[in-house]
Structure formats: C-alpha cells, structure tokens
Amino acid sequence: MATTITTIKMLILDPSSNDAEQTINILRNSGHAVRATQIKTEGDLEQALEQQTWDIFVARDNLEKPSAEQCLKIVQHYGRNISFIMTTDSYSVDRTVDAIRLGMKDVVPEDNDEYFKLVVERELANIEDRRKVLIADNALRETDKRNELLLDSSRDAIAYVIDGMHIYVNHAYQELFGYDDADDLECMPIMDLMDPSNHQEFKNYIKSHSKGEQAEDFTFKGVNAKEGSFEAFLSMTDSEYDGEKCTQIYIKTTTASDEDLAKKLKELSAQDRLTGLYNLEYFIEAVSNSIIKATSENQLAAVLYLELDNFDQIKDDHGRTNGDLYLKEVGHWLEKNVPEGSILARIGDSTFTFLTSITKPDEAEEIAEQMCNQFAEHLFEIASQTIKDTLSIGVSPVQETSPDAEKVLSNAHFAAASVQSKGGSGIRIHDNALDSLENRDDAQTDMEIQDAWDSDKIHVSYVPLVKLQGTQKQMYHARLTIDNDQGQTKGIEDVYNIGLRTSTALKLDNWLMNEAFPVFSLYLTSQPDCKLKIQLSAASLLDNNLVPNLVALLKQYNLPYDAIIFEFKEDDAVAYLKRVIQAIVLMGEEGLITALSGFGSSLDSQTVVNSIHAKGFSWISIDSALMESFIASHETQEKVQELITFAKVNELTTIAPGITDPSFLATIWPMNIDHIHGEYIGSGHDSLDFNFSDTGF
C-alpha cells in the first residue's frame, strides 16, 4: 500500500527492549525507515507527545502501569492524530471489537508479522489521507471565504436566485435597488425589481436561458425603492451557492463610470470597530490556520472564550455610552494580560476570545484560571465611576483531531455558557470526549453530572429490601442520588439517562463502590449475614478490566465475595449479550454473585436469562415499569406471575421493586416473591440503619 510517509515515527509500549526491537525490524525488513521511541511509563508518553508528532502507536496487550488502554486515553487527551494498534497473544474478535470501540484502530496477533505489516501500512495511508483531507478542507474553507469576500466587496451588483427568488444579494446589489438591509430582498422575486413593461420579455429571456440557448445581456428598467427607475442590463449564469444549484444574476448600470469599474474590490477590515481588536472573521481564519499547524508542525493551541458576566447590568446602570467605554477598557486590559503572541478578538457584544499557543493541554487551564482571578480583582474606572466584573471562560483545545474552527469556537462557547449558567466567574475546559455525543443535550448532561460531583451533590443512598418468604435477613441496594436545585434528592438514574456517555457512567460506578464498600465492610462486623446489591452500568460491562477490578475492590475492603450482588440491566444484556455472558461466567468463576434487573422489560426476557444462566447468577429483579401498572392491570399481574414462576423453576431469587402502598401486598404475596422494596417499605437512607425487625413481615 503506497504512502509518501518516508520515515515512520512510532511509539512502542513494550517492557522488553528486545521485543520492541523485533517489532521495529518487521517494518524495517519490509523496506520502511522507522524512528521509534519505547514507552515504559505514562511520563515517557506525555513527554514524547509534547516533543513532536507521531504516526503509529503499537501497544502490547495485558500490561499494567501503564496499560494499552491507559496510554490510549493519554493520546486522546492530547488530541493526537495517531493510529493506535494493539498486539496480543490472545486474539479474538470480541477483544478486537472492544478495542476498536475504545478508539484503537486494530488488534493484531503477536505471531502474525505479515498481518502486522499490512495493518501498519494501511494506517499510514489512512493518516496521510486524513491529513490531506484536513488541509484540503481548510483550503476549501479559505477559498469559499475569499469568494464570499469578493462578492461582498464587489462594486458590481451580484445576486443568487432559485426559482426567481433571491437567496443572496451583495451590498452593491441592495444599494442599486435602494434597500438598506439585504434581508428585505431575501425571497423577493427578481421581477419585483423591474418595471412591469419588462416582465414578459424577461420571462422569455429566462426560458431561453433554461433551454441552454446563448442570449445577449438583457436590458431592462430597474426600480429603485428610493430614487425611482434606472437603465441597466442583466446576465444570468448557472452557478452554486451554499451547496445549492442556483442562478447567478449580474447587473450593471449603463451609467457606470470607468472609475467604478476600476474599483471592483474593497478590503474587508479585520478589526472590531469599537475596540480595535480582531473581529470574528479574522479569528475564525486564525483558528483554521492553527488546526493546520497542529497537524503539520505539532503546535498545540487553545481557544479561550470570555463572557463578561455583568455587562447587561453595567450597561443598564451606567448607560450605553459608558458601556461602550467599558468594553474598550476591557479590550485594553486583555491586550496587556493575554499571553504574548496570542490573537485577541471581540466577537460579540460582551464576548471576547483569544487563541494562544500551549505546550501541553493542561497549560490552557492554568492560563484561564489566572485570567479569571486577575479580572475579578481588577477595578475599571469609567467616567469617574468604578466598575467591577467577572468572567466566565470556556476553553477548547486546538489539536490534530480538532474539528473545524467554527466547532472549536462553538465548543469553547458552550463551556463558557455552562459556567455562566451556574452563576459565572469560573472556567470550564471542553471535554473532547463530548465531541462524540449526538447532541448538546448529552454534553450538557455530562457537564451537569460533573458539576454535581464537584459540588458534593452526589451521595450514596441505601435502599432496604425486605424478605417476604422465610426468615428475615438484612439486605440493601446501594445507589447514587443527586441533590437538585430545588433541594430535592432523587436517584441519579431517575434524573439522567447516562448510558455509555463518555467516561461518566464508569466513573460513577467506581465512585459508588469505593464509597459504599468501606461502609458496608464495617457494618458486616455486627451484621455478617447482610447483603448489598450494586447495579453496574453498560460502561462497566464493556470495561475489559471489570472482573479483576471487582475482585481487587472486594479484597481491598475485606468483603466476602458472596456479600455483594452485582446487578446488570436486562436492556444492557440484550444489547451486549455475548459480553454479559462472558462477564457473568468470569465473575462466577471468581465466586462473585450476579443478578439481572428490569426482568420482563424485553420480549425475550426468558431467552436472555436462559442464555446467561451460569454459576453465581442467582437473582432477578422484576421490571419497575411492570410494577407501576401492577395494581391496575390484571394482564400485568399475570405477566409478573409468569416471570416469577420462570425464575423459581430456574432457582433464581426474585425481587419486586416499586412497592408504594399496602395494596400491593395482598396481590403479590401469593405469587411467592422473595424480596420487595419501594416507598412503602422505606426510601433510601444515608446509612445502613433500617430497622428490619419493625417491618411486620
């Protein structure tokens, strides 16, 4: 596979220098020049990423500190356009799917040199293609922009029309017809700008053009909205505007002077008129160029988006004129305080932004924090009045993997808006992982969860499960709750549909266990028969290190393996059935206990259970949606009875959630359900202090 990358710049994660050299020799023996650096620690990797660009990262599987997965996260954090390949001595399709889902390009068996060589050559070609596309996209964007400038600044009147309706007019065109705002002409028929005596003739002219017939310029009498009529001629050309096929209209007055013809273009100022800083157009161009430099010159940068938190109030209190003076002073202050070499712009009424070079991603955060603090302490003097304000700053990195300039700026804006929505005077760094989310709502959810976490609004709640049949034994379900802005506490799963969103779900799972396990371990010293149920997200299910991590946590907190019930949702089991089977089998081999929640939520519930039935899999919890309609629906009751009977046949202990009042008990008791929980039994507790002997069961 041909590529013009003459020397392969490669990073290799391998503790053995001999094995790393053998990997390099596979490519050298195939005629490739290779310059490689061996990675042994996370610090080695960070230093290498800061020094230059790299093409390929080859990581050996099943290593610790750092693992291949940890190295991948660091590469992604730095935003490097590096093809990440993992070699393994235990190759499988499932392992490959998991790796690709994380962001790796491929997994290669360690003993297949030819396959490794072909994968590397394929990725080199892909890297080059990606870089070419990036450069071409920026070049096209620059060409489009220059064309737009030519149109806007042309002394000739130019418009684009679709089906005779204007979709774009330049300044000269709107001036020619006496309109102050181009929007007034948008969607207006072009015939409305002509004297009625020319209408039929112009219709014939359009027909001739549509047939492809060559036609002379059309002479007509134009109608100026302010000054009456004028003589002009018009020509039409098939064209394209903003991706749509249309017709370009070119109009010239018969009285135009040679001097007018000589002045076809005028320069577009790159400055904001009020502050003298750069304007939005110039700033977008600068960010586009910075993205190219990140690819070609390994130059990292960051966009910092600055919103004045109190500008509207300042303007109301001090007047518009003093508000403008204040904006000028802010511009002067920023010029003195942004890092040297930064490109500073004003892009909105109270919005400033600057582009600055950095050497590592965390440097931008330090710059933002320093600026936020210094600005909050500064006193502005406007017309003998003292003004104090704060900044909400959003930061978006400019890296090899950055989207286009508009998206980078939008990301920074979104981060700043998030700060301002929480009261302002702070900073937020855009999480590159959010770029993969489908919409801004998903990104907002991630940010809100992180804010709640940082503000200590997320807590562990222990929900008691009461045993209906046999001797009463203590059991709790540990879940996370969140305090909302209204002072209410709700289950985090009731507020947010977290799913596989970035790393949030996995982080929450780990946090829950690290908070609940030491508390439960201490409780077991007085109540050794108690059990604790923990529900794991799909993110944990897809974590390759799930089972060893769980075993390590149980050992760390000195917990008996059979004291914790690890629960997966049926929806996740349906979506990732092979992975659930694999996880439950491995957990059973380690002596861990597993459960399935949401039983009955899918059409194939019983098939799913039959597929994953294995050692240690011994609990199921009925779908909460079924329990919501349980009392009112006889059909639902029959469905629940069928599920419980199936569970009993398969020797599974059953749980019914959502027991809200005593009316449930008369119907559910004969069904031979094992455990129940819900508001009637008791809502979540901050500690393990429920009185099980007081339930009456």
Q: In terms of domains, do 516 and 408 share one?
A: no
For the chain, percent of residues with pLDDT exceeding 70: 89
Give the CATH number for residue 295.
3.30.70.270
Please report whether residue 140 resides in a domain: no
Residue type, 429: I
362: pLDDT strictly greater than 90: no
User: 141-150, 224-233, 344-353: which range is least confident on average?
Assistant: 141-150
CA 261 to chain centre: 50
Q: In terms of domains, do 128 and 162 share one?
A: no
Tens of pLDDT, residue by residue over 554-602, are 999 999 999 999 999 988 888 788 889 999 999 999 999 999 999 988 7
**What does pLDDT average to over the chain?**
84
Please report whether residue 441 resides in a domain: no
Tens of pLDDT, residue by residue over 501-542, are 446 788 889 999 999 999 999 999 999 999 999 999 888 888
Q: 3-class SS at 302?
A: strand
Q: In terms of domains, do 326 and 187 share one?
A: no
Helices and strands (DSSP H and E) totals, the chain: 24, 27
Torsion of CA 167, 170, 171, 172, to 10 degrees: -120
Q: What is the pLDDT of residue 353?
A: 97
Q: Which DSSP string corresponds to 155-208?
A: SSEEEEEETTEEEEE-HHHHHHTT-S-GGGTTT-BGGGGB-GGGHHHHHHHHHH
User: 140-154, 160-174, 379-393, 642-656: which range is least confident on average?
Assistant: 140-154
Q: In terms of domains, do 222 and 297 share one?
A: no
Among left, alpha and beta (phi > 0; psi -120 to 50; other), residue 341 is: left
Please report whether residue 450 resides in a domain: no
Q: In terms of domains, do 290 and 349 share one?
A: yes
Q: In terms of domains, do 298 and 241 share one?
A: no
User: 449-463, 483-497, 642-656: which range is least confident on average?
Assistant: 483-497
Instruction: Please choose, from the candidates 503, 343, 329, the residue with its C-alpha nearest in 3D space to the C-alpha of residue 431.
Output: 503
Q: In terms of domains, do 482 and 556 share one?
A: yes
Please report whether residue 262 resides in a domain: no
Q: In terms of domains, do 12 and 85 share one?
A: yes
Q: In terms of domains, do 559 and 624 share one?
A: yes
Task: Enumerate residues 6+ apart whose C-beta is below 8 A from 492.
Answer: 449, 458, 479, 480, 481, 482, 498, 508
Residue type, 295: T
DSSP state at residue 685: B
Tens of pLDDT, residue by residue over 275-320, are 889 988 889 989 988 888 887 777 889 999 999 999 999 988 888 8
Q: What is the pLDDT of residue 444?
A: 61
Q: In terms of domains, do 98 and 188 share one?
A: no
Strand ranges, E, within 309-376: 343-348, 351-358
What does the block give as tokens for 91?
A: 């190759």
Q: What is the pLDDT of residue 257?
A: 47
How many structural domains are present in the chain?
A: 4
Give the CATH number for residue 628.
3.20.20.450
Q: In this structure, are strands 458-464 and 426-429 parallel, antiparallel, or unpaired?
A: unpaired
Burial group, residue 515, by CB count within 10 angstroms (0-12, 13-18, 19+): middle
Tens of pLDDT, residue by residue over 479-502, are 988 876 666 777 776 656 555 444
Give the CATH number for residue 180.
3.30.450.20
Please report whether residue 288 resides in a domain: yes
User: 166-170, 645-649, 690-694: which range is least confident on average?
Assistant: 690-694
Instruction: Please choose, from the candidates 50, 110, 101, the residue with its C-alpha nearest in 3D space to the C-alpha of residue 75.
Output: 50
Strand ranges, E, within 19-148: 33-39, 56-60, 83-88, 106-109
Tens of pLDDT, residue by residue over 73-118, are 999 888 888 899 999 988 888 888 888 888 899 999 988 888 999 9
**Alpha-carbon gap, residue 657 to 623, rounded angstroms:** 8
**Three-point CA angle 459, 461, 465, nearest 5°:** 165
Cβ-based neighbour number of residue 635 at 10 Å? 9
Q: 3-class SS at 289?
A: helix
What does the block give as tokens for 667?
A: 């119907």
If one compares 472 and 172, the residue with the highest pLDDT of the two is: 172
Q: In terms of domains, do 17 and 45 share one?
A: yes
For residue 201, what are the domain limits?
Answer: 154-255
Residue type, 55: D
Q: Which DSSP string corresponds to 253-287?
A: ETT--HHHHH----PPP-B-TTT-SB-HHHHHHHH
Q: In terms of domains, do 351 and 204 share one?
A: no
195: pLDDT strictly greater than 80: yes
pLDDT grade for 193, boundaries at 50, 70 and 90: very high
325: pLDDT strictly greater than 80: yes
14: pLDDT strictly greater than 80: yes
Please report whether residue 144 resides in a domain: no
Please report whether residue 218 resides in a domain: yes
Please report whether residue 662 resides in a domain: yes
Torsion sign, CA atoms 42, 47, 50, 53: negative
For residue 396, list its beta bridge partners.
Answer: 303
For the chain, percent of residues with pLDDT exceeding 90: 32
